[in-house]
Amino acid sequence: MASSPARPNSPGSHLLPSPVQELMYGHLHASALRAAVVHGIPDLLADGPRTVEELAERSGTRTGPLHRVLRLLAARGLFQEKNGTFALADAGRSLCTDAPGSQRAAVLLFTDEMFHRAATNIPGTLRTAEPGFEAAHGRPFFAYLAATPDKHRLFDAAMTSRAGAADEDIAASYPFPSSGTVVDVGGGQGGLLRAVLTRFPELRGTLYDRPGTVAGHLLDTEELRGRWSVQGGDFFTSVPGGGDLYLLKNVLHDWSDEDCLRILGTVREAVRPGTRLLVVEAVLPDDGTPHPALELDIVMLMLLEGRERTAAEFDSLLGRSGFRLDRVLPAPAASSLIEAEAV
């Protein structure tokens, strides 16, 4: 099949694909990335370069197809090819299982067939405004996870791995109180709470999320002994009371405005006036400026009824729920720290 003409970059340079080609072939790059991770190629290269023949033998793959996939991924900056061998590029090191902030689980999650099937329904979503995931799988996203334990475990692992480095940075960049209790609502397996409690040794913390999620929490360390508790429950119904600071990290973007008002309302019922709430979310510019969270906004479109929001939209949600937005601070990666106070 003939490809469309590539546009020249400059005399003597490689030909670069057009923006249309970049998007049109995007699923091929994702599938090649998944194949390399599934077969453990990054882990095989963690200690240094190897020939394609050696990689194929150790991974149980065929030399020719493997070379072609790695060649494509090398062109995307994940591997380096030289003298018949492949090595990890700096950008590819996060694909290793034991790498700090490993993205291996995230790659396996976001290239999984459950997401591919949901994405193919985006044309229908434009007509109906219904999430493509439910149309593809016959049930809402979180209900699907609850019914498929292997996917649920992958989801939890991916969320934890993606958050690792950012959690440390958030703990270092926000003036958390030196004492009292932090309640992390919808806090997953507790990565952010662990980072905060580690950095502030006089603080105590409560992790609150679905029972199946908090069962795999990360708080049971010697350094945090006696300073944490874990509760399973539904934040649409109730959240633990008595906290001095409440966290909502990457929770609100999963939900519609109506559901966000329910979540924030439940938090407001549990807290005293003056209690601080820290919402960690991407904040989109309101002038159309490109932002790293635009892709995540489309993920929300195809999976759930949530969305990424602007500062004005967060201000509206918080104000309607009994909170006052005080300030928005920059945070690591694509997130911001939205500080509010119960009124």
Contact present, 318 and 257 (Cβ < 8 Å): no
Annotated active-site residue 253? The verdict is yes
Contact partners, residue 154, CB within 8 Å, separation at least 6: 105, 108, 109, 112
Could you give the CA distance from residue 66 to residue 59 in angstroms, rounded to a whole number?
Answer: 10
CB atoms within 10 A of CB 142: 15
How far, rounded to the nearest angstrom, does the alpha carbon of residue 136 sit from its chain's CA centroid? 22
Cα-Cα-Cα-Cα dihedral sign, residues 208, 335, 284, 30: negative
> Which helix or strand (DSSP H or E) is residue 119 part of?
helix 113-119
> Which helix or strand (DSSP H or E) is residue 190 part of?
none
CA atoms within 13 A on the CB side of 149: 2
Structure tokens at 78: 């994940």
Among 14, 29, 253, 291, the one annotated catalytic: 253
E strands, 99-202, are: 180-185
The amino acid at 84: G
> Which helix or strand (DSSP H or E) is residue 2 part of?
none
3-state secondary structure of 216: coil
How far, rounded to the nearest angstrom, does the alpha carbon of residue 187 sit from its chain's CA centroid? 13
The amino acid at 186: G
Q: Tell me the C-alpha to C-alpha distance, in Å, between residue 110 and each of 130, 176, 255.
A: 20, 32, 19
Contact present, 339 and 276 (Cβ < 8 Å): yes
* Residue numbers annotated as active site: 253
